[in-house]
Structure 1
Amino acid sequence: MKHFFIEELLPKAGGSVYRLTRMAARRALELSEGRPSLMRKPSSDKVTTIALEEIAEGRIVYNKEASSVSSKDSTSPRAVLMRGNLASSQEKASVS
């Protein structure tokens, strides 16, 4: 099992543990749905480990300006991960 150090991964997610968790979870979900890995030879067959490896290697990045998570190759639609719509979540919370 590969070990990851939070100190190395946090800067990849803008310093937010929550954002890092969301990035990894969203990418792991994509991988479990059959999307290909962005790595040639992942060290594991577990989707969570592959997602964290992709983040650690900089293949998945957080784009602060666009509020999105994407791969370095933003031309590939398979590689783009969009964050949930924060505004609609806040609207739902304020209506309740």
Structure 2
Amino acid sequence: MLKPSSNIIKTPHKSYYSVVIAVAKRAREIVEKAEENNQILVEKPVDLAVQDFVDDKVRIIETETEEENV
């Protein structure tokens, strides 16, 4: 089980839901890039994605929705 995901949330406005979605999208990007380059991934894509967020290689940017503006 991955524990560093709690380190991704550094500011109070980020939710666990947004972290899960962002990690899933990043993992898909990693898989697609590996397939394009005909590479075999030794580590799981989700592990690599979480590590990217922990290392600040990728950041989560949340946009405001209309509901939040009301």
TM-score when normalising by structure 1: 0.48
Question: Which residue matches 1:31?
Answer: 30
2:59 aligned counterpart, secondary structure: strand
More helix by share: 2
Q: 4+ residue runs of structure 1 moved beyond 2 angstroms?
A: 3-7, 12-15
Compute the displacement of 1:12 (Å): 6.7
Identity of aligned residues (%): 17
Choose between structure 1 and 2 for higher RCO, CA contacts under 8 A separated by at least 6 residues: 2
Q: Is contact 1:32-1:47 (8 Å) kept? A: yes
- TM-aligned CA distance change 1:54 to 1:12, over 3 Å: farther
Aligned residues: 58
Give the drift of 1:45: 1.8
Unaligned runs of at least 5 residues, structure 1: 36-43, 68-85, 88-96
Separation (CA, whole Å) in 2 of partners of 1:55 and 1:12 = 14
In the superposition, relative to structure 1, how do residues 14 and 23 fare at CA in structure 2: closer, same or farther (>3 Å)? farther
Q: For 2:33, what is the secondary structure of its paired residue? A: coil
Closer, same or farther: CA 34–6 of 1 in aligned 2, 3 Å: closer
Structure 2 length normalisation: TM-score? 0.62
Of the candidates 61, 65, 90, which is equivalent to residue 59 of structure 2? 61
Higher strand residue share: 1
> Can you give the 5+ residue segments of structure 2 that lack an aligned partner in the other structure?
35-41
* 2:59 alignment partner AA: V
- Per the alignment, residue 49 of structure 2 pairs with 51
